[in-house]
Amino acid sequence: MDCPLSIGLHYKIRKNMRRTLEIIWIVLVALSIFAYLLGDLHYINNFFVAILLVTTFIKVQLVLNHFMELKNVTGKYRWIPSIWLTIVISLIAVAYYLPVK
């Protein structure tokens, strides 16, 4: 047997992982629909732009952690994408909130 776990335990772990990924996928879809509706209904102001940037950060972090499986990785392989994401979101926020002369 290749797996050191019993077949029942292995099945239970895989079922729990699949359920977690399904829930995360539903959250990602819900956040995407929320962002689309804000844009489509033209509810854009400074507050909603901040909310959209935060939801974008959360969505990308969920993809990094669960679908790219970086949640259990240590060191640079986990921190480099997170730092990159923080820099990009911060630059977008700075560009949006800079006063236009």
At 12, the pLDDT band (50, 70, 90 cuts) reads low
> What was the pLDDT predicted at 2?
59
Tell me the pLDDT tens digit for each residue of 14-61.
Answer: 777 888 899 999 999 999 999 999 888 887 788 889 999 999 999 999
Backbone angles phi, psi at 4, to 5 degrees: -75, -10
Tell me the pLDDT tens digit for each residue of 58-78.
Answer: 999 999 999 898 888 888 888
CA distance 17 to 45: 38
Residue range 82-92: mean pLDDT, rounded: 96
pTM over 0.75: yes
Cα separation of the two ends of the chain: 70
CA distance 80 to 101: 35
> What was the pLDDT predicted at 44?
78
Sequence-ordered list of residues with C-beta below 8 angstroms from that of 33, at least 6 positions apart, any chain: none
**Pick the residue with more confidence: 11 or 36?**
36
CA distance 35 to 65: 21
